[in-house]
Amino acid sequence: MKATRTLRGLVAGAVVFGAVASVQPAMSRADTGTVLRFPASDSNIGVSTLELVDHDRDDPWTPGRARSIPVTVTYPAGFAAGGTRSLPVVLFSPGFYVPRTLYTVAAEDLASRGYVVISMDHTGEALATVFPDGRVVTAQITDPYSADTQKKALDTRVEDARFVIDTVESLSRGDDPDGIGRLLPDGLPGAVDPDRIGMFGHSIGGATTTQVLLDDPRVDAGVNVDGALLYANTASPIVSQDPGTPLLSVLNSRHAASPEGRERFWGQYFATPRSWSKVYALLDTGHFSFTDAEHYVPQAIPDPPGMDVPAGFSLGTAPRQEVVDTTNDLVAGMFDRFLKGDPAPELDDAASRYPLVFEVR
């Protein structure tokens, strides 16, 4: 019960911010006036929110309606327009029940490093989904942790991600039947490079990322942030298959040390030959260390009782800003190497560069 209240409290805060931010015009990060911190670099960023409607797909949670998802597009405000194709695109998928707004720090940091970040909400699954016009859609599921629901959620998320990629490609070609391009800054659709696409996600969003890597060759690199490699209640296909696409996993320390996780999926994952894969973990962290809570909850506030489990709502005891900075560096390094062609040497031996990091094998 306390764990549920904790999650609802965090989500409520994220929804309140999302409802306010979603109705604001796109602007540079320096002018937003929000309580969120500035990104890691000196670059300003811009933010736009869109509603994307997949007219060819029914909403699995609300039959009879076209699938509709809100996304937040975070981008470098000083991008070069004029069809330069200078900006790689990175999709983000949040945790189960959790809205995209609880990962704003990560999206803004990555955008400040020269990426267009498209953060998705998966309507009907999150406790609350905020659309650009301010309306809120609550969760439409009643048995959230059943195998059928988990499978349906992951399948829906994969299709959401693939639809977003379709939309990116359409906008980059100048195709815009729903008129969403007018809600983006002039020149942004022509500045994105649809041939350089990455994806990352937290928890089931991480599992979603691994499945997208298997299903969609348009994604060039992925980061699984503390996601169990599960498809419903069985091991994910990625456990025994190599997508041929680079995959980085960043885990909390309890997840990395879990005998159950090793037995159910990580053991087979490590035994399967892979083209490029790294699995790192951060000392003294928890599952919620990879959300905005890690940035905003004071270090002195302890975890709720009973949360010292791999998928609990724990923040752990590691220095919180160091966790945020380390995670952001690893995620950015992955995309720097495989989308921009930069060396990103931190990927090869992160344990020697970051005090909190150890490799999992």
Q: Domains of the chain (ranges plus CATH)?
A: 2-359 (3.40.50.1820)
Query: With a cut of 50, which residues of the chain have pLDDT below it?
Result: 1-42
pLDDT of the residue at 81: 81
pLDDT of the residue at 232: 85
Please name the residues in contact with 308: beta carbons below 8 A apart, sequence gap of 6 or more: 254, 286, 314
Q: Using the structure block, give the residue that is written with the tokens 């990103």.
A: 344
Alpha helices in the chain (DSSP H): 2-21, 104-112, 147-173, 188-191, 204-215, 253-256, 259-261, 267-271, 293-296, 320-340, 350-353
pLDDT of the residue at 84: 85
pLDDT of the residue at 14: 41
CA 218 – CA 196 distance, rounded (Å)? 8
pLDDT of the residue at 313: 83
Q: How far is C-alpha 347 from the chain's CA centre?
A: 19
What DSSP string describes 220-255? -EEEEES---EETTEE-GGGT---SS-EEEEEEHHH
- Render the burial of 24-49: b for 16+ CB within 10 Å, e for the rest: eebbebeebeeebbebbeebbbbbbb
Q: Is residue 198 within 8 Å of residue 334, measured between CB atoms?
A: yes
pLDDT of the residue at 334: 98
pLDDT of the residue at 16: 38
Q: Which two tokens stand for residue 204?
A: 């089931």
pLDDT of the residue at 142: 86
Nearest to 158 by CA among 89, 235, 218, 233: 218
pLDDT of the residue at 93: 98
pLDDT of the residue at 309: 65
CA 327 – CA 312 distance, rounded (Å)? 19
- Judge residue 284's burial from the number of C-beta atoms within 10 Å of its C-beta, 0-12 exposed, 13-18 middle, 19 or more buried: middle
- The phi, psi pair for 66, rounded to 5°, reads -65, 145
Q: Which two tokens stand for residue 174?
A: 């100048």
Packed helices 204-215 and 147-173: angle between N→C axes, nearest 10 degrees: 60
CA 79 – CA 222 distance, rounded (Å)? 24
- Compute the C-alpha angle 123/286/334, nearest 5°: 70
Q: Which helix (H) or strand (E) holds 74?
A: strand 66-76
46: helix, coil or strand?
A: strand
Q: Which two tokens stand for residue 31?
A: 């002018």
